[in-house]
Structure 1
Amino acid sequence: MEEKELLQLESEYCSFGDTVHYLNPPKIFAKSEGSYIYDLEGKKYLDLQMWYSACNFGYKNKRINDAIKDQMDTLGQLASQFLTKEKILLAYKIAKSVEDRFNVKGRVHFNVGGSQAIEDSLKLVRNYTKKNLNFAFMGGYHGRTIGATNITSSYRYRERYGHFSDRAFFVPFPYCFRCPYGKDKETCDLYCAKEFEKLFESEYYTVCNPKTKNCEFGAFYIEPIQGTGGYIIPPKDYFKKIKPVLDEYKVLLVSDEIQMGFYRTGKLWSIEHFGVVPDIIVFGKSLTNGMNPLSGLWAKEELINPEIFPPGSTHSTFSSNPIGVRAGLEVFKLIEEKDYEKTVKEKGEKFLNLLKDLKKKYPFIGDVDGLGLALRIEICEKDGYTPSKRLTDKIVEEGLKADLNLNGKTYGLVLDVGGYYKNVLTLAPSLEITDEEIDLAVELLDLLFLRIKKDEL
């Protein structure tokens, strides 16, 4: 069937609400491999977003795909009331990874999809603390199920669905390029952290009673590096600064690693960069390299042991499904065999340095930053600061035309957009990206930016 016919059928029979139709017409892709995806005409696109960081280990990864095929032919389906060897071993490997890094013992709980894992974490928090309110960050994204939407900052995700009585108390994220307090990063002395601490100084700041040390908030949900918010990287000591007050008032720290886990930042868990120990870690996406919607959480023993969180406390039919846990187990084998901490750091530094060179050439690039292979390019107007969604959308659309000519070959470029003003190109290339592909990515970005600059003059 031709693309035109497919798009006509899609326009009549598909919901527009499941995150397509940002482009007109929408793109249809036919195959993928490595760092590339291909459309129905066979045009080649270098993908710098890898399914929102769900495919950290590259499209069509042979080892992971082979493991899935073998599992399908061995034990492909099993009710989640029963066990498989693969589930037990994967839970062990995840829990042991946390224990080795933070010296804390805990357990692993599986579900399907990141939002569902967030929902389970909310149940853990409520069950343990008996509190239904939480802190979260402005710019934070934790999912779009009803519970997850309570702690996701975007009002757009709530406005159609009535009142959200458990909506989080949203705290400004340490977004240094656009400091919400108008401070300078070099001289602010972590003013944002002090403002959070100040909330606990008086009962009149609404969150606690300093005399009794009682607080009505059960947890603080964080993305150590904001994903949809624009890959914002906080100051290294920010979380160390606020953690003591959380501990004092028995507020749990929940680290959402759904986008940034599995070595996206050069560490297995992005929270490792910031010198604090989380109480709960939520993960998903690249746990199976995007090949199966398996997610889950790790929690400290005292939060999740069978005495406090017994069988049936929460349930999903497809949680810990055999194909998903087998894929996850193969991912962990890859992690154990390859030094991603070293290679991601090296590749990220090279990529970031090349992006900094681009920033010098184009005044509409306001900021570039990165940690590992989580990289950001903030697109602005000519003043280098005013957010420009208009230019950002144009860059993305031009990349998807697949008409970038370089060394006799033609490419498309797949980019993702995030940020508070939807003006940030968030780059999440495959962790297996080669040096040659990094060079290609920057050359293609250069061609796109040059095209935009000429159009804007």
Structure 2
Amino acid sequence: MTEKITNRKIIEILEKNDKYCSHGDTVNYADPPKVFENCEGSFLFDENGTAYLDWQMWYSAVNFGYKNKRLADTMHKQIDTLPQLASQYLHKEKVDLAEIICKYMEEKYGVKGRVHFNVGGAQAVEDSLKVVRNHTGKTHQFAFMGGYHGRTLGASAITSSFRYRRRFGNFADRAEFVPYPYCYRCPYDMKVETCDTYCHKQFEKLFETEYQSVWDTKAKESEFGAFYIEPMQGTGGYIIPPDGYMEKLQASLKKRNILLVADEIQMGVYRTGKLWSWENFGIVPDIFVFGKAITNGLNPLSGIWAREELISPEKFPPGSTHSTFASNPMGTAVALEVMKMTQEEDFGAQVNKTGAYFLKQIQALKSRWKVVGDVSGLGLALRIELCEKDGYTASRELADRMFNEGLKGDLLVGDKKYGLVLDIGGYQKNVITLAPNLLISEEEIDLGIHLFEMLLRRCGAE
């Protein structure tokens, strides 16, 4: 522990963590790890009662605020009725939740499908891989550079970071990674105003000849079963693709009978102003994966929606995949309430209005600080690139310092101390990715901007 801690209770927690807990999780990125004791709305609280405004809300899992009363009441009610049940049996909440998701797809997009539930996001990604392999007979997939789909073995194979695979041997089914249209730092050094989606043209070239290794020109068949996408990249830095790109990509895939799988684990459930982020980009995937915010982080639940022809009982029969805690009553009850809550009003319009206000504030931030590079956002998924004083060269050092300083909880506003919880993403780990409470107030947004500027000054930014 490099930072001096004086609170005896916290010292004991940290000592036990050092002795008994695996350090294989991300808790131990920080030194010392941060300990929180309470939460409410947009805030976390430490042992001293110091409020930390949370700009990342548990990696976009707590979209509706900590201790959301309506959702907490739903959970308490479920505890008193049917808190647990083996996943081989049915309960009403499971089928009602599946019905809402499926009817949404039928009524809005005219596509019939089914839902399969699991527990965590990576497990749902694994289930989707089974559906893809079962339908196509292919073991290889396309995925994007900068994409993140989880850290189980199957999900790691389609996640671009070698860091997550390095310790675990050869991945024979590793995805073919394709450059994502990251226009601010274009992998082809093009300009979005004049490139005419050059990156998509490069993808199309893969199918011109068999010697590009992905296409048999005689059999008209690809070695690849699906293309896994985050329509708006999450861990990669909350990157928004240019207009028309995703539509062109889906057209290319349909022409070759390659499935499109959308990972909605971070960006789903109104983070981008729509129920599913892919709805912003003119596409309808063959499969999409969801989790995290579907229960507001209260009880783990994830799942996939797939088109009927991919997941019908004849195609994907009982026992094709299984988890003891899949479709658990606690998770499905809360998720059902989340879906009902967001359907009672134009929730997307509310998110977009708040997001527009937040984006305006970070655009003003850019005008005041040389080190703030690209800023952008969709709904309440926003990004701030931290750079050197040239406004472009990525500064991981500044991002790391601000992250750590924000967790000290000693930013004085009036006579009250605050902290600011940040999350860092991006290809060069210089992007502050913002996933605030979807119910955040304008006053809380203003407070966050003030705290962020205090951190910039403390870290010596220009």
Q: TM-score, normalised by structure 2?
A: 0.97
The correspondence for 1:314, drawn from 318, 321, 342, is 321
Query: Is contact 2:264–2:277 with CA below 8 Å preserved after alignment?
Result: yes
The amino acid that maps onto 1:70 is K
Q: Does 1:59 align with 2:66?
A: yes
Q: Does 1:447 align with 2:454?
A: yes
Point out where structure 2 has 5 or more consecutive residues left out of the alignment.
Answer: 1-7
Q: Which residue of 2 aligns with 1:374?
A: 381
Q: Does 1:276 align with 2:283?
A: yes
Instruction: Describe how 1:19-30 pairs up with structure 2 within 5 A.
Output: 19-30=26-37
**Once the 2 structures are TM-superposed, how far is the Cα of residue 370 of structure 1 from its aligned partner?**
0.5
Q: Which residue of 2 aligns with 1:255?
A: 262
**Once the 2 structures are TM-superposed, how far is the Cα of residue 299 of structure 1 from its aligned partner?**
0.2
The correspondence for 2:106, drawn from 78, 91, 99, is 99
The amino acid that maps onto 2:322 is H
Query: Is contact 1:236–1:273 with CA below 8 Å preserved after alignment?
Result: no
Q: Which residue of 1 aligns with 2:125?
A: 118
**Once the 2 structures are TM-superposed, how far is the Cα of residue 100 of structure 1 from its aligned partner?**
2.8
Structure 1 Cα separation of the partners of residues 269 and 243 of structure 2: 20
SS at match of 2:211: helix
Q: Identity across aligned pairs (percent)?
A: 61
Structure 2 Cα separation of the partners of residues 436 and 82 of structure 1: 47
**Once the 2 structures are TM-superposed, how far is the Cα of residue 456 of structure 1 from its aligned partner?**
5.1
1:348-398 deviation digits (Å, cap 9, x = unpaired): 111111101111111111111100000000111111111111000011111
Structure 1 Cα separation of the partners of residues 29 and 82 of structure 2: 39
Over 3 Å off, 4+ runs: none
Q: Which residue of 2 aligns with 1:133?
A: 140
Q: Does 1:402 align with 2:409?
A: yes
1:197-222 deviation digits (Å, cap 9, x = unpaired): 11111111110023332001000000
Structure 1 Cα separation of the partners of residues 87 and 173 of structure 2: 30
Query: Is contact 1:136–1:171 with CA below 8 Å preserved after alignment?
Result: yes
Q: In terms of mean alpha carbon deviation, does 242-251 or 152-161 score higher?
A: 242-251
The amino acid that maps onto 1:233 is I
Q: RMSD over aligned Cα, in angstroms?
A: 1.0
Q: Does 1:195 align with 2:220?
A: no
Structure 2 Cα separation of the partners of residues 102 and 409 of structure 1: 50
Point out where structure 1 has 5 or more consecutive residues left out of the alignment.
Answer: none
Q: Which residue of 2 aligns with 1:334?
A: 341
The amino acid that maps onto 1:87 is K
1:276-319 deviation digits (Å, cap 9, x = unpaired): 11000100000100011100000000000000001000000000
SS at match of 2:141: strand
Q: Does 1:145 align with 2:152?
A: yes
Q: Which residue of 2 aligns with 1:352?
A: 359
Mark the CA change 1:456 to 1:108 in structure 2 (over 3 Å): closer, same or farther.
Answer: closer
The amino acid that maps onto 2:88 is Q
SS at match of 2:189: coil
Q: Which residue of 1 aligns with 2:162?
A: 155
Q: Does 1:44 align with 2:64?
A: no
The amino acid that maps onto 1:44 is A
The correspondence for 2:244, drawn from 237, 244, 248, is 237
Q: Which residue of 2 aligns with 1:82?
A: 89
**Once the 2 structures are TM-superposed, how far is the Cα of residue 236 of structure 1 from its aligned partner?**
2.1
Q: In terms of mean alpha carbon deviation, does 208-217 or 389-398 score higher?
A: 208-217
1:222-273 deviation digits (Å, cap 9, x = unpaired): 0001111010111121011121220011100000000000000000000001
**Once the 2 structures are TM-superposed, how far is the Cα of residue 407 of structure 1 from its aligned partner?**
3.3
Structure 2 Cα separation of the partners of residues 287 and 322 of structure 1: 13
Query: Is contact 2:143–2:176 with CA below 8 Å preserved after alignment?
Result: yes
Q: Which residue of 2 aligns with 1:436?
A: 443
The amino acid that maps onto 2:275 is L
SS at match of 1:21: helix
Query: Is contact 2:371–2:461 with CA below 8 Å preserved after alignment?
Result: no
Structure 2 Cα separation of the partners of residues 263 and 127 of structure 1: 31
The amino acid that maps onto 1:382 is K
SS at match of 2:167: coil
SS at match of 1:20: helix
Query: Is contact 1:181–1:192 with CA below 8 Å preserved after alignment?
Result: yes
The amino acid that maps onto 1:114 is G
The amino acid that maps onto 1:384 is G
Q: TM-score, normalised by structure 1?
A: 0.98
Structure 2 Cα separation of the partners of residues 433 and 87 of structure 1: 30
Query: Is contact 1:396–1:416 with CA below 8 Å preserved after alignment?
Result: yes
SS at match of 1:160: helix
SS at match of 1:259: coil
Structure 2 Cα separation of the partners of residues 439 and 385 of structure 1: 25
**Once the 2 structures are TM-superposed, how far is the Cα of residue 427 of structure 1 from its aligned partner?**
0.3
**Once the 2 structures are TM-superposed, how far is the Cα of residue 72 of structure 1 from its aligned partner?**
0.9
Q: Does 1:168 align with 2:168?
A: no
Structure 2 Cα separation of the partners of residues 99 and 437 of structure 1: 38
SS at match of 2:48: coil
Query: Is contact 1:113–1:295 with CA below 8 Å preserved after alignment?
Result: yes
The amino acid that maps onto 2:262 is S
Query: Is contact 2:270–2:348 with CA below 8 Å preserved after alignment?
Result: yes
Instruction: Describe how 1:377-396 pairs up with structure 2 within 5 A.
Output: 377-396=384-403
Structure 2 Cα separation of the partners of residues 338 and 410 of structure 1: 36
The amino acid that maps onto 1:237 is G
**Once the 2 structures are TM-superposed, how far is the Cα of residue 435 of structure 1 from its aligned partner?**
1.3
1:297-351 deviation digits (Å, cap 9, x = unpaired): 0000000000000100000000001111101111011111132210111111111
The amino acid that maps onto 2:115 is V
